């Protein structure tokens, strides 16, 4: 073959030239050229994970049985089930299996479309889509023939896998072959409901496409989409397998496994998890049981068991301030620490005046008094409610005022306080005001290893307990126990923490 003499190719001549060159190259086999086996065989051969020596994913017998049923087709070659809910206990590979299902779809369909959908783009990318990308990287054939960027995978059969967030306006009207929904238990807002509605299966692909849900149980009354699916299908009369908890009704299949069936789900593992999770959250994620969203913050016998005579404490202290809207109290709680135990040694509250507002001068004067009595390492406060109060204090005294975020940090602090009370790492003197606020509090689940202290009733006060949560978290974070020792040896060192 000779090249054209002219330096500029027309589009047609260039394409002909390119085809002639490609025809002379040796034909290299790719994974896409191989016949597509049944899903289970294909997944165990081709979906790779780093945890096994040969990187092969090995499905447990119950997973194979459920997967075979989920992908069963009728005599016309159509899927029997248009919606599959794969609900399993934590650490049962449910996200990996969803990812494997997605890759199988993209490798067995020409010009297919797979969406991995989660609450936000970060979650969509960090769960199912991440496991797909990882499997491709670990599989040399896939790595050579797939194209990937952060949120898109393209397979050699011209199928596309996309990670997308909940956005019912931007993602309406799709024509997907497979829709994968992650952690449907958390879908409860209007945007979630609209997204679920918009991401229906296309009538042009009915029988050839599926919705696939991977999740564990949610909260009673707060997981409307998942709960409706559960209540519709998971009934004794719909059970189709005597051994595994597999249920079917019309075109919906639900695996709702509540048992530990995998070798790494050991009694020792669950014993360690029970130390860090509330009982209801443990049952939800490790037993796949529906939970109540709120219940008593702690049993009162736990709190009463923490009553102790204060040992000799250094005069170091962290003080936390909590003030809600005008009808709530202003709470001030000061804590010290010794040998890993937090001691709330100062508790006080102020009620609103007749005008419904707090007179900040009174707690301000009391805080100044405490600053004279104790070596205060930090004063933590909610910047939304107490910005003005903090400015009053810093205008009068040199003190380390720290903002305490009421979002994620508060959720972590409330869970840390729950753990500390359960494990008797709080030592109190029986203060009746603090006990009343503990008794007035419920806990509200807020995801893995997080919770929020909330009022049991609107009129009940919990401000001192919230302040204790903030103070305990800060005292641990600042290692107040060690600082107390340093201060006793070198009193002038406190200036380093006040600046």
What secondary structure does DSSP assign to 124-156, as a single string? HHHTHHHHHHHHHHHSHHHHHH-EE-SSEEE-T
Cβ(320)–Cβ(477) under 8 Å? no
What does DSSP say about strands 330-338 and 341-350: parallel, antiparallel, or unpaired?
antiparallel
The reply to whether 8 falls in a domain is: no
486 within domain boundaries = yes
Across the range 475-484, mean pLDDT stands at 88
CATH code: domain of residue 161 = 3.40.50.300
When the pLDDT of each residue in the chain is averaged and rounded to a whole number, the result is 86
Asked if 97 and 178 sit in the same domain, the reply is: yes
Count up the domains in the chain and report the number: 2
Q: State whether 211 and 327 are in the same domain.
A: no
- Residue 54: is its pLDDT beyond 70? yes
* pLDDT value of residue 370: 94
> pLDDT digit string (tens) for 122-134?
665 668 999 999 9
The pLDDT assigned to 19 comes to 52
From 448, 147, 152, select the one nearest 280 (Cα to Cα): 448
- Section 480-487 average pLDDT: 71
User: Based on the domain organization, do 200 and 315 belong to the same domain?
Assistant: no
Task: Mark whether 238 and 315 lie in a shared domain.
Answer: no
Query: By residue range, what is the domain housing residue 486?
Result: 300-498
Does residue 288 form part of some domain? no
The answer to whether residue 10 is domain-embedded is: no
- Give yes or no: residues 250 and 310 share one domain: no
Residue 274 forms part of a structural domain:
no
Residue 309 clears pLDDT 50, i.e. is over it: yes
Domain assignment of residue 273, yes or no: no
> What local confidence, expressed as pLDDT, does residue 20 receive?
54
Q: Which of 233, 256, 279 is the last residue of a domain?
A: 256
Give the pLDDT confidence of 62-73 residue by residue, as tens digits: 999 999 999 999
114 and 227 share one domain: yes
Across residues 159-181, what is the average pLDDT? 79
Lowest-pLDDT range of 148-152, 284-288, 316-320: 148-152
Confidence at residue 119, expressed as pLDDT on a 0 to 100 scale: 72
Supply the pLDDT for residue 18: 47
Does residue 250 sit in the same domain as residue 333?
A: no
Query: What SS3 class is residue 209?
Result: coil
- Same domain (yes/no): 319, 385: yes
Contact 152, 93 (CB under 8 A): no
The answer to the question of residue 171 being in a domain is yes
Do 319 and 246 belong together in one domain? no
110 & 194 share domain: yes
Place of tokens 């306006």: 169
Q: What is the mean pLDDT of residues 461-490?
A: 84
Residue 489 has pLDDT above 50, yes or no: no
**pTM of the predicted model, to two decimals?**
0.67
pLDDT at 490: 41
Which range among 166-170, 319-323, 392-396 has the greatest average pLDDT? 319-323
pLDDT of the residue at 385: 80
Among 127-136, 168-177, 484-493, top mean pLDDT goes to 127-136
Strand-pair partners of 346: 334
Percent of the chain, pLDDT > 90? 63
Cα four-point dihedral sign 270, 272, 277, 278 = positive
pLDDT on residue 204: 85
Is 58 or 173 the better-scoring residue by pLDDT? Answer: 58
Mean pLDDT of 407-419: 94
Q: Domain check: are 106 and 235 in the same one? A: yes
435 pLDDT more than 90: yes
Q: How much is the pLDDT for 346?
A: 97
Q: What CATH code is carried by the domain that includes residue 408?
A: 3.30.420.240
Average pLDDT over residues 297-304: 93
Identify the residue with better confidence: 472 or 191: 472
Q: Are residues 311 and 242 in the same domain?
A: no
- What pLDDT is recorded for position 486? 52
What pLDDT sits at residue 499? 33
- Asked if residue 310 is part of any domain, the answer here is yes
């Amino acid at each position: 073959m000779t090249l054209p003499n002219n330096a500029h190719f027309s589009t047609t001549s260039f394409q002909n030239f390119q085809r002639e060159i490609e025809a002379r190259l040796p034909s290299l086999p790719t994974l896409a050229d191989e016949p597509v086996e049944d899903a289970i065989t294909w997944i165990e051969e081709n979906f790779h994970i780093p945890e096994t020596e040969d990187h092969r994913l090995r499905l447990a017998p119950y997973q194979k049985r459920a997967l075979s049923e989920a992908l069963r087709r009728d005599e016309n070659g159509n899927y029997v089930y248009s919606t599959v809910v794969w609900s399993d206990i934590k650490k049962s590979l449910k996200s990996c299996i969803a990812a494997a299902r997605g890759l199988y779809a993209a490798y067995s369909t020409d010009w297919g479309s797979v969406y991995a959908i989660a609450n936000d783009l970060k979650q969509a990318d960090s769960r199912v889509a991440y496991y797909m990308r990882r499997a491709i990287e670990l599989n040399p054939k896939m790595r050579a023939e797939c194209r990937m960027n952060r949120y898109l995978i393209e397979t050699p059969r011209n199928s596309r896998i996309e990670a997308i967030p909940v956005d019912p306006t931007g993602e309406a009207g799709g024509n997907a072959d497979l829709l994968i929904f992650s952690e449907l238990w958390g879908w409860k807002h209007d945007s979630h409901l609209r997204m679920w509605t918009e991401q229906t299966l296309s009538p042009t692909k009915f029988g050839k496409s599926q919705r696939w849900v991977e999740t564990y149980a949610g909260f009673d009354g707060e997981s409307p989409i998942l709960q409706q699916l559960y209540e519709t299908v998971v009934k004794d009369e719909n059970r189709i397998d005597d051994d595994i908890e597999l249920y079917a009704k019309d075109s919906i299949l639900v695996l709702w496994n509540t048992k530990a069936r995998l070798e790494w789900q050991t009694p020792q593992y669950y014993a360690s998890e029970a130390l860090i999770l509330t009982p209801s959250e443990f049952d939800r994620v490790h037993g796949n049981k529906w939970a109540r969203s709120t219940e008593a913050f702690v049993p009162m016998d736990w709190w009463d068991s923490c009553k102790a005579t204060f040992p000799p404490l250094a005069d170091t202290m962290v003080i936390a301030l909590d003030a809600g809207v005008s009808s709530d109290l202003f709470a001030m709680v000061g804590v010290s620490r010794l040998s890993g135990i937090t001691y709330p040694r100062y508790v006080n509250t102020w009620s609103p005046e007749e005008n419904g507002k707090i007179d900040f001068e009174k707690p301000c004067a009391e805080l100044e008094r405490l600053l004279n009595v104790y070596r205060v390492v930090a004063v933590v406060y909610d910047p939304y409610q107490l910005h003005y109060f903090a400015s009053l204090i810093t205008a009068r005294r040199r003190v380390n005022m720290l903002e305490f975020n009421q979002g994620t940090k508060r959720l972590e602090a409330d869970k840390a306080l729950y753990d500390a009370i359960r494990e008797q790492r709080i030592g109190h003197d029986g203060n009746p005001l603090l006990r009343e606020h503990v008794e007035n509090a419920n806990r509200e689940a807020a995801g893995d290893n997080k919770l929020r202290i909330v009022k049991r009733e609107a009129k009940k006060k919990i401000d001192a307990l919230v302040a204790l949560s903030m103070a305990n978290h800060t005292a641990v974070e600042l290692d107040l126990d060690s600082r107390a020792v340093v201060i006793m040896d070198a009193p002038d060192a406190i200036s380093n923490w006040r600046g």
